[in-house]
Amino acid sequence: MTTISEEEMTTLKESISSTVLVPGDNHYDEVREIWNAMIDREPAVIVQCEKAADVAPSIAFARKHNLEITIRGAGHNIAGNSISDGGLLIDFSLMTQVNVDTASSRATVEPGATLGDFDAAVQQYGLATPVGINSTTGIAGLTLGGGFGWLSRKYGMTIDNLLSVDMVTVDGDSISASTTENPDLFWAIRGGGGNFGVITQFEYALYPVGPDVFAGLVVFPLEQARQVLNRYREFTGTASEDMTVWSIMRKAPPLPFLPEDVHGKEVVVLAFMYAGDPAQGAQYASILKSFGEPCGDHTGVMPYTDWQQAFDPLLAPGARNYWKSHNFTGLADDALDIMIEYAGTLPSPQCEIFIAHISGAANRVTTDAMAYAARDTQYVLNVHARWDDAADDDTCVTWSRGFFKATKPYASSGAYVNFMTAEEGDRVESAYGTNYARLVAVKRKYDPGNILHMNQNIKP
């Protein structure tokens, strides 16, 4: 890293209209915070981008001074790839505009928009596209790695609904990519992450959704987990693609609809959303309740945007988090037994074992259609260790790694790059499988010097 003189900093500040922060400046510490409190890094320079035109000068400045470039949407990447010590952070948190074209059912979105910003804007017109389940997540990072949520069984991954992007290359050129313009790049960014350039705008296809949906939670004691998960497996194998049910094992939070004696006890939760006629969703909810004897449930008709925020309180920023994840083409008996066993040894009240069910439209896209390759995935397991005290780091990380190892024999090939922790670089190649060689070729074309390497890195 080279030393940057005050004069050079002044030149940067004068060449762009965005705010530039350096250590010691007001707000520097709050702006450098990201979702996972395990990551505490101090960039040399933060550019709080207010317009796309400020990206190229920021990249040029970083390259001139040999500063590692990181890019941040909403800072939810678990590995903390959006920030580095001593680097230059291109922070998009001020660029959150979402423009909806109802005539063509499309939305253009700035790269700092959260899922909450996106959903709020498109739902004004009763529209949506599949995104994740926590409204504070950034649409940029989520999209570039794949993206899935409550609408994915019906409409596919987020990338399956991406129509185009605008991007600034590491050489400062502004280009666009779609199936007709720079199609090699468009192929690569749909799953290949932030490896190829800095995206300044995303464009998505939209569908009529809600605005009301039938959704909710059905909670069973962990003692019934095996029976409930057997029925869950059966149900998810045949249910309509309007119906998405994820299963979560954790200690029960003090939710008002749960009896007090359940709070803090291990439970299995079926969280679901029905994307079609709410009356039909209510019928499906009754089926879920029959999987065992629920200790509580909270289901009903609610605005889609409310359901999209339902998990926010349990996923608030500021806690320490460590994730491990596998893809599955099915839920083997032995794998379920291991999950239930680990659910009985949760090392903190906030740890969760999440099984996301995504089979449906995403499976009907061919493996080589775009960089994201795991098209046979039916379920995604996320071992979400979460705790508050740094003294518990070892215990929680060890638990998570042990669980990951124990369930590995049942996992399919491939992995979801958006759930990878920093030390999983060796899984990147296998995550892309037969698409990896093509990704390397695109990386060589757009970023041969691997300037953008703070990501699930594709080495040129």
Ligand X SMILES: Cc1cc2nc3c(=O)[nH]c(=O)nc-3n(C[C@H](O)[C@H](O)[C@H](O)COP(=O)(O)OP(=O)(O)OC[C@H]3O[C@@H](n4cnc5c(N)ncnc54)[C@H](O)[C@@H]3O)c2cc1C
Q: Which residues bind ligand X (CB under 6 A)?
A: 35, 71-78, 81-82, 92, 111, 132-134, 137-138, 140-142, 144-149, 193-194, 198-199, 315, 418, 454-455
* Cβ 315 to ligand X shortest distance, Å: 4
CA–CA distance, 379 with 353 (Å, rounded to integer): 12
Other CB atoms within a 10 A radius of the CB of residue 161 amount to: 23
* Cβ 184 to ligand X shortest distance, Å: 17
Nearer to ligand X, 109 or 339 (CB): 109
Return the CA Rg of the chain. Answer: 22
Nearer to ligand X, 261 or 423 (CB): 423
Asked whether the beta carbons of 220 and 293 are under 8 A apart, the reply is yes
Asked whether the beta carbons of 22 and 9 are under 8 A apart, the reply is yes
DSSP structure string for 257-287 = TS-GGGTTSEEEEEEEEE-S-HHHHHHHHHH
Other CB atoms within a 10 A radius of the CB of residue 84 amount to: 20
* Cβ 72 to ligand X shortest distance, Å: 4
Nearer to ligand X, 151 or 285 (CB): 151
| 379, β-bridge pairs | 328, 357
* Cβ 369 to ligand X shortest distance, Å: 18
CA–CA distance, 171 with 447 (Å, rounded to integer): 9
Distances 389 to 393, 396, 426 between C-alpha atoms, Å: 7, 10, 29
Nearer to ligand X, 43 or 294 (CB): 43
- Residue where the block lists tokens 């790694």: 401
* Cβ 7 to ligand X shortest distance, Å: 29
Phi and psi, residue 419, nearest 5°? -105, 10
Asked whether the beta carbons of 151 and 160 are under 8 A apart, the reply is no
Nearer to ligand X, 141 or 460 (CB): 141
Asked whether the beta carbons of 170 and 57 are under 8 A apart, the reply is no
Nearer to ligand X, 127 or 157 (CB): 157
* Cβ 113 to ligand X shortest distance, Å: 9
- Residue where the block lists tokens 């003692």: 223
User: What DSSP element (H or E) covers 174?
Assistant: strand 174-178
Nearer to ligand X, 140 or 222 (CB): 140
* Cβ 439 to ligand X shortest distance, Å: 14
Nearer to ligand X, 92 or 284 (CB): 92
* Cβ 419 to ligand X shortest distance, Å: 6
* Cβ 76 to ligand X shortest distance, Å: 3
* Cβ 187 to ligand X shortest distance, Å: 16
| 372, β-bridge pairs | none
- Residue 208: helix, strand or coil by DSSP? strand
Nearer to ligand X, 177 or 315 (CB): 315
Nearer to ligand X, 220 or 354 (CB): 354
Strand order in the sheet with 266-274: 296-303, 212-221, 266-274, 243-251, 352-357, 379-387, 320-328
CA–CA distance, 420 with 70 (Å, rounded to integer): 17
CA–CA distance, 125 with 450 (Å, rounded to integer): 41
Question: What are 420's two structure tokens?
Answer: 């990878």
